């Protein structure tokens, strides 16, 4: 089990993105063995003694800075969160809570044009075309991406705050 922990840790470090159980399955170990090992590794890292912890996000696992060491990392590296305008956050929240929907539907909910903003979100890979609406002209349907989940630290869309709390809570991440 110790060797498997080391291998999983090396993969997580090298990947720089969440790895799914399917990714780890390429190692040839049974799924239950991999899950037990990931849980055990997460428990070992939870103390913060290594400076990192294991986080489950976007249907995968990734290494993150342990909360105990965030201040030091911020002091030295000064990481900057992705800068999104108020308009981009509005459109992103509309898409996240109402997907899939067309540009016209986004604009109707927002009350103003979303063309440039939506294009920017697609370019940043936070939103993508997920299909076409069965209507005249076959307008594109938009939805959020895995990068959206990763950026905002969500395991799935089910982790979004309830609507009555307001979509602006996406700013908390």
pLDDT tens, position by position, 12-31: 999 988 999 999 999 999 99
Across 96-107, average pLDDT: 94
Q: Say if residues 129 and 142 touch (Cβ distance below 8 Å).
A: yes
Q: Which residues contact 102 (CB under 8 A, 6 or more apart)?
A: 133, 139, 140, 141, 142
pTM of the model: 0.59
Answer with the one of 49, 77, 105 that is the final residue of a domain.
Answer: 77
For residue 58, give both structure tokens: 């976007």
Q: Coil, strand or helix: which one is 30?
A: coil
Residues 61 and 130 in one domain: no
Instruction: Compute the C-alpha angle 148/156/143, nearest 5°.
Output: 50
Tens of pLDDT, residues 122-168:
999 999 999 999 989 899 999 999 889 888 888 888 888 887 644 44
Residues 131 and 114 in one domain: yes
CATH of the domain at 156: 1.10.10.10
Domain that holds residue 97: 86-172
């Amino acid at each position: 089990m110790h060797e498997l922990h080391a291998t999983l840790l090396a993969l997580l470090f090298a990947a720089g993105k969440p790895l799914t159980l399917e990714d780890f399955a390429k190692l040839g170990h049974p799924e239950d063995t991999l899950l037990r090992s990931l849980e055990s590794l997460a428990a070992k890292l939870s103390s913060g003694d290594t400076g990192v912890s294991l986080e489950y996000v976007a249907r995968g696992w990734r290494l993150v800075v342990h909360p105990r060491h965030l201040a030091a990392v911020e002091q030295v590296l000064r990481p900057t969160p992705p800068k999104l305008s108020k308009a981009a956050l509005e459109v992103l929240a509309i898409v996240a809570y109402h997907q899939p929907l067309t540009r016209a539907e986004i604009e109707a909910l927002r009350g103003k044009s979303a063309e440039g903003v939506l294009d920017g979100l697609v370019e940043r890979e936070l939103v993508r075309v997920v299909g076409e609406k069965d209507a005249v002209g076959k307008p594109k349907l938009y939805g959020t991406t895995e990068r959206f989940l990763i950026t905002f630290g969500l395991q799935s869309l089910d982790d979004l705050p309830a609507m009555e709390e307001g979509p602006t809570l996406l700013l908390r991440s």
